[in-house]
Amino acid sequence: MILWRIFLSALALVLGASLAYLWQSPAGLKTSPDISVFTIDGEQLALSSLRGKPLLVTFWATTCSACVKEIPHLSDLYRELSPYGLQIIGIAMYYDPPNRVLAMRRTHNIPYTIALDIHADASNAFGNIQFTPTSFLIGPDGRVAFQKNGAVNIDRLRREIVEMLDATRERTGNPA
């Protein structure tokens, strides 16, 4: 009887640890959903059309102080690395009024693509996003390389993106 309890306890521990590992380590386990978003400029943009380049997708809200604080850092990152292929899409949450999103883009001079998620299709496709900011770094092959709920560490994110850009450059032989 005691051996049976030890066995069940060990099995529960292994199962719990396995589930925790899968929950906490999205890198390499998921691919980007094949969705389209509408930008605040009225264009439809398919995420699959951006394959071959690193893509940062960040879910944000105008009422989220961490999101607003992150905007200048993401803007700098975009200005620095977009000439080499980085794409950033900021997806405003479904509850964010479009006029506030437009005003935020103007006020903060956001250079990267901003999309609206009016019907929560994008947030649902990415796993029912509820917390902002939530960011996904998607590799050129479409695999999710990095996921973060909360503000990202910009230096770590920059290093990961530069590594992707370097690997893409080596693979394609393209100097830029």
**95 and 154 in one domain?**
yes
Same domain assignment for residues 72 and 120? yes
**Could you tell me if 73 and 96 lie in one domain?**
yes
pLDDT digits (tens, 9 = 90+) for 26-69: 433 388 898 999 999 999 999 999 999 999 999 999 999 999 99
22 and 42 in a single domain? The answer is no
Instruction: Answer yes or no: do 120 and 91 share one domain.
Output: yes
Q: Is the pTM of this model over 0.85?
A: no
87, 10: one domain: no
Residue 103 shares a structural domain with residue 128: yes
CATH number at residue 75: 3.40.30.10
- Do 18 and 44 lie in one domain? The reply is no
CB 98 within 8 A of CB 127: no
Are 100 and 129 part of one and the same domain?
yes
Q: Which residues pair with 149 in a beta bridge?
A: 134
Residue ranges making up the domain that contains 22: 1-27
What is the mean predicted confidence (pLDDT) over 136-150?
93
Q: Are residues 87 and 42 both part of a single domain?
A: yes
What's the pLDDT tens digit per position in 157-174? 999 999 999 987 776 666
Looking at the fold, whether 63 and 127 belong to one and the same domain comes out as: yes
How many domains are there within the chain? 2
59, 88 Cβ separation under 8 angstroms: no
Pair (167, 107) in one structural domain: yes
d(CA 11, CA 76): 48
